[in-house]
Amino acid sequence: MGKKSRLANHLPATVELRDMPGTRVMFWVVSACPYCGEQHLHLAGNLRSADPGETLGEQAAPCDPEKVYELTLPPRPRKKKGKRGRRTDWSDEDW
């Protein structure tokens, strides 16, 4: 079995980084688990010393530890086109 076949059965789970109020602990929050649809938390580290990006990737699903999903950030929104991108060149049109 190659790497591709192992990753094929890992579902992506989009996450949001949150900190616990009054502490320095950060968590990745999976709002909807791809297996059960519930919310799950994954430890992301200390607010001051850890890089939370290092904890992204394959994680065991708390609802079923035998299943694994991939913690991923949500896609970035597309940039809006400027006025030049929206403007139509009227000189090219035939009337």
- How confident is the model over 61-75, as pLDDT tens digits? 999 889 999 999 988
Tell me which of 87 and 67 has the higher pLDDT. Answer: 67
- Which pTM was predicted? 0.67
Give the per-residue pLDDT at 36: 92
* Mean pLDDT, residues 42-67: 88
d(C-alpha 41, C-alpha 11), whole Å: 16
Per-residue model confidence (pLDDT) at position 87:
55
User: Is pLDDT of 2 > 50?
Assistant: no
Q: Where are the beta strands (DSSP E) in the chain?
A: 11-19, 25-30, 40-46, 57-61, 64-72
- pLDDT digits over 25-36, tens only? 999 999 999 999
